[in-house]
Structure 1
Amino acid sequence: MWDRTGCGKTKPCWARVTGPLAPFADGFRAESLRLGHTPLTAATHLRLMAGLSNWLAEHDLSVSALSDAAVVAEFFESRRAAGYTGLISPKALQPMIAFLREGGALPPSVTPAPADATESLLEGYAVWMRRQRGLAETTVALNLRLVRPFLAGRVRADGSLDTEGLSAAAVNAYVVDQAAARPRSAKRIVTALRSLLTFLHVEGMIDSPLAASVPSPAGWTLAGLPKALPRSQVAALLASCDKDTGTGRRDTAILLLMARLGLRAGEVAALGLDDVHWRTGEITVRGKGGRCDRLPLPVDVGAAIADYLRHGRPTGALARTVFIRAQAPFTALATAAVIQVVDAAGRRSGTGVTGAHRLRHSAATAMLAAGGSLEEIGQVLRHVRPATTAIYAKADLPALEPLARPWPGTRAGT
């Protein structure tokens, strides 16, 4: 049932919820508004709750039945059969399910038990990577995906894993096969495999430290050139942001942090309000492996952040990070969203697919062009090894010109 008093395109129609979900209707409505949803969106959520509650009552089901994915799927199947074209997938129920779980009306979601020995081992490996190695979730997920085929090849007929029989020869044979089948991914597969073998040895699942026996695929250090953007393209990315809107102010600050200080996408997403030290003109950057560094805050970058904080950041933000989603719920901006900000700016400016990491290269080459040394660039980019920064020496053409030998039959400088 709906209370249509005063309804219109800009005024919400609040549904009257009856049935088993009725006791939670007022709280869910208030929570939707607290999360930053507009009244129209909150009213849509409430109408879905009303429809679900009626369906549960018709089938003599309680609220606890929503813990069963089959029950939820059946509800949406009946909704589609009734002719609804919107809110017809289980994803539409996520805000309501989260609210019911937080209030104790539904039990917390339970991670399913590992289906077999391989998944059980990978579960322990994931915990080890997070706790012992301090790896980011994206890295953990990538390592799991890359080593799963290796473990799948060690499954015995009875379903158990043969880790005791692992040998350097078996590892080498697997790497050679993968290098032939997936040459572009060979280096990353080797890195993940070494990590897995270290875990197996630490946990006592293999006797020998086989990580050192993993062969390295052929490769040449510093073979490529840093893929930096010209200054004109960086300027075009910044100019493509509409600074009259909150989203445009946010995106401008994000792009400047990446193009001027070389921050990675994950570091931009993790930047907190307490990490900006206005009095000293510095920011704290939380990088790989839990590393924290302080960097000077350039005036133009600080001005862009301040402009976003004062005139663009949602007042009802639910996180202490600097950058917040532009639409409700106003939670922290994820790393993937930061990457999308760069990609969207590339499309708007006509520079094409830019890639967030290219702005890090652009920051380095800009510092080099301004007279910065490789050591200073390494400090700003927070490289652990000087060799990582050495690739930017190839971009310093004026410094390389005196080292170039003349072509036979010509004079130097011609």
Structure 2
Amino acid sequence: MLNQLFPNPDVLKRLTASSLGSLIQSYAMSHAGKLSPSTMQHRIRAAAHFGYWLDTQHIGINNVDACVLERFINHFSTCCCPQSRAGEHLHTAIGAREFLMYLGKTGVISPFLPMHEESSARKSLLDKFFQWTQLNRGISRQTGIAQCSHAATVLDSLGDDIGCWTVKDIRQFVLSHFEQYKASYIKAVGSNLRAFLRFLVIEGLCQPELIDAVPKTAHWTLSEIPRHLSPESVDKVIAASAALPRSELRDRAILSLLAGLGLRARDIADLCLSDIDWEQGRIRFVGKGRRETWLTLPQGAGDALLAYLEHERPPSNYNQVFLRSRAPFQPFKGVASVQQIVRLALKNADVEHPRGVTTHLFRHSLARRLLAQNIPLEGIGVVLRHRNLQTTAQYAKIDINLLQTVVQPWPEEKENYPC
């Protein structure tokens, strides 16, 4: 199992060099096929990092408990372990918790529960926060789970005595835990923490000024140029779905919907059979803020979707349209599956594309194509389901024809130059 996840023998040797090496091997075997390869790689690296740290601290496996895990997490700010990977401390904390829970279940250590699960009061608080996000904020379940995860992390770090939290505590927590991450991720973390603090204020558990204590990430509106593919490249990527025969029709349908309607990955993962109106040729999406929108189903995307449903989708009682291509034939657990399909298609098509961009690449490409057809920004905003025209305005930057009408000629002679 580990040989498949880490083909490089030097890497494998380093990951199993600690006193927990044999336990890491068993952990990998017990989870074979249950998690995606990328998730398992994160988990194994986290377990290896934890094992190395235990050895440096001369802590035996029998002495491991929640307090030891907290010490391990707190050492991240000064960590220089060879297993440490910049920007992955949150993955490491989660992976170490999961590894210890496995050891507890198998009897290697005393039954282990993460610190935020040891207190029924804390669990009740997080459950109440999750319900609040769903009923009062109108956000998706996955976003609610992410917000609860960050809430648990701040409780682990600052403790359950919320009334004693200070502005300095909140700022120090954010700076020490997330400074190595990308600005976009830190921005999301800050938003999640503000939501949790807002909930605590409503519950009367903390002071309102703590909400503004979360540092804001520098962000300049419309500062980036949307990256896109040419129409020919989009067609090439869709055709690349044939490289995976087991899921060819499913992947073609997903890529066609992304390209034809500029959907988000979450739209694909959540799409249900009941959302398709075949008689009217339209399809329903519930986007951000649970706003319901009906869009006309393009002919090409409709044909690809119908082919998948008739010839490839496994018999199932699930209402979700897209299912895993291998048993168990279940719906996608999240957007990562959709993003992975896009990554593989881009790789198989051998199309040059911006690094780090997946499903939104099709969204930007659709906007570029509509601009080339002289569709006004208001119309593009309707298709992309933007609530604010300012969001759609970013695509004016890639309208080359429009930009050429306002560009000033370069002065040919130096003496004519005003400066």
Which band: TM-score by shorter chain? 0.5 to 0.7
Cα distance in 1 for partners of 2:137, 2:144 equals: 10
Aligned residue number for residue 161 of structure 2: 162
DSSP 3-state at the match of 2:320: coil
Once the two structures are superposed, what CA deviation does each residue of 1:288-335 show, in whole Å capped at 9, x if it has no partner? 232211001111111111122222222x22312222222222222343
Deviation of 1:280 (Å): 1.3
Aligned residue number for residue 390 of structure 2: 387
Distance 1:409 1:174, change over 3 A: farther
Aligned residue number for residue 13 of structure 2: none
Once the two structures are superposed, what CA deviation does each residue of 1:77-100 show, in whole Å capped at 9, x if it has no partner? 9xx9xxxxxx96366899xxxxxx
Cα distance in 1 for partners of 2:34, 2:254 equals: 32
Aligned residue number for residue 133 of structure 2: 129
Contact 2:282 2:296 in 1 (8 A): yes
Count residues with an aligned counterpart. 306
Contact 1:114 1:120 in 2 (8 A): no
Aligned residue number for residue 89 of structure 1: 30
Contact 1:284 1:294 in 2 (8 A): yes
TM-score by length of 1: 0.65
Distance 1:122 1:306, change over 3 A: same
Aligned residue number for residue 340 of structure 1: 340
For 1:70-89, list aligned pairs within 5 A.
89=30
For 1:32-181, list aligned pairs within 5 A.
89=30, 114-116=117-119, 121-155=125-159, 161-168=160-167, 170-172=169-171
Once the two structures are superposed, what CA deviation does each residue of 1:270-291 show, in whole Å capped at 9, x if it has no partner? 2222211122111111222322
For 1:13-412, list aligned pairs within 5 A.
89=30, 114-116=117-119, 121-155=125-159, 161-168=160-167, 170-172=169-171, 182=181, 184=183, 185-208=185-208, 210-212=210-212, 214-242=214-242, 245=245, 247-314=247-314, 316-334=315-333, 335-351=335-351, 355-409=358-412
DSSP 3-state at the match of 1:294: strand
Cα distance in 1 for partners of 2:297, 2:319 equals: 19
Deviation of 1:395 (Å): 0.8
Contact 1:267 1:287 in 2 (8 A): yes
Contact 1:245 1:312 in 2 (8 A): no
Distance 1:407 1:214, change over 3 A: farther
Once the two structures are superposed, what CA deviation does each residue of 1:121-158 show, in whole Å capped at 9, x if it has no partner? 44443333234323334323433444445434422xxx
Aligned residue number for residue 26 of structure 1: none
Contact 1:318 1:330 in 2 (8 A): no
Contact 2:198 2:208 in 1 (8 A): no
DSSP 3-state at the match of 2:331: coil
Contact 2:339 2:358 in 1 (8 A): yes
Cα distance in 1 for partners of 2:177, 2:331 equals: 38
Deviation of 1:163 (Å): 2.0
Once the two structures are superposed, what CA deviation does each residue of 1:327-378 show, in whole Å capped at 9, x if it has no partner? 2222223433222211111121113665122111112111112221111111
TM-score by length of 2: 0.64
Q: Which has the higher helix share?
A: 2
The amino acid that maps onto 1:115 is E
Larger Rg: 1
Aligned residue number for residue 78 of structure 2: none
Cα distance in 2 for partners of 1:257, 1:251 equals: 10
DSSP 3-state at the match of 2:285: strand
Contact 1:243 1:252 in 2 (8 A): no
The amino acid that maps onto 2:266 is G
The alignment-based identity, stated in percent, is: 33
Once the two structures are superposed, what CA deviation does each residue of 1:247-291 show, in whole Å capped at 9, x if it has no partner? 211111110110110111121122222211122111111222322
Contact 2:157 2:173 in 1 (8 A): no
Cα distance in 2 for partners of 1:274, 1:211 equals: 40
Distance 1:322 1:188, change over 3 A: closer
Cα distance in 1 for partners of 2:34, 2:236 equals: 41
Contact 2:171 2:215 in 1 (8 A): yes
Cα distance in 2 for partners of 1:217, 1:342 equals: 29
Cα distance in 1 for partners of 2:181, 2:242 equals: 42
Distance 1:406 1:168, change over 3 A: farther
DSSP 3-state at the match of 1:164: helix
Aligned residue number for residue 103 of structure 1: none
Cα distance in 1 for partners of 2:128, 2:170 equals: 21
Deviation of 1:172 (Å): 5.0
Once the two structures are superposed, what CA deviation does each residue of 1:202-259 show, in whole Å capped at 9, x if it has no partner? 1221243643564533221110011212222211111112299562111111101101
